[in-house]
Amino acid sequence: MKWTGKENSLGGRTYTYRGFEVWSAKGEHIWTARTQPEGLPFKLNGSGVGVITRVIDYWLDQGRLPPEYKWPAK
């Protein structure tokens, strides 16, 4: 995760991770992936940074969600 040096409209910082823009809210407790991998079946909004990076890594490296994620959700 690399800080871009910019703040965002949520009052937090803007980062990049593996080519995607990730915003933190003020205090950096809530995160949102402003850009996401193509084909990802759900939005990565309001998540912890560990969730966002884990899902992006699995999707890019293995073309699937981490094993604990089921889609569609039942």
Q: Where are the domains of the chain?
A: 2-62
Distances (CA, A) of 18 to 4, 57, 71: 13, 8, 23
Contact 20, 52 (CB under 8 A): no
Contact 19, 59 (CB under 8 A): no
Backbone torsions φ then ψ of 15, nearest 5 degrees: -125, 165
User: pTM for the whole thing?
Assistant: 0.88
Would you list the DSSP string of 7-42?
E-TTSSEEEEETTEEEEE-TTSSSEEESS--TT-SS
Residue stretches of the chain with pLDDT short of 70: 74
